[in-house]
Amino acid sequence: MAQGNSDEFNIGSVVMRVVFSLAIVFLTFNPTGHSYFHWLQQNLTPMQPVVVIAGILLLGAWLFFIRSTFSSMGTLGVVLLLALFAAIVVDGRAGLSPLPTSRRWRGWC
């Protein structure tokens, strides 16, 4: 294999994917109040062009992320992962989750 091949899979590519995924999720919404969701709420009327541009960029990142997920895992894999995530969320609402139990944390899951 030639060096610089984009198909190479190593720890660096895993870290990059995890960081990119977390950035998309936490830029969209997070409980601290510093996210696109909160920014959009504060600038809803009148709508600022920079908010619209940021939203389009964020939507493009989400579409890339979802398409990549489906291509790597397939429909069955995505359905199983969503079922697992739903079970964790329901378990967390029942108070059995190992996640932090502070009121601020629990308010957004």
Q: Which residue has the higher pLDDT, 15 or 6?
A: 15
pTM, whole model, 2 decimals?
0.67
In a domain, 2, yes or no: no
The parent domain of residue 26 ranges over 11-106
Residue 98 DSSP code: S
- Radius of gyration (C-alpha) of the chain in whole angstroms: 18
In a domain, 3, yes or no: no
In a domain, 6, yes or no: no
How many structural domains is the chain composed of? 1
pLDDT tens digits, one per residue of 20-75 = 999 999 999 988 889 999 999 988 888 889 999 999 999 999 999 999 889 989 99
User: CA 69, 75, 76, 80: dihedral to nearest 10 degrees?
Assistant: 50
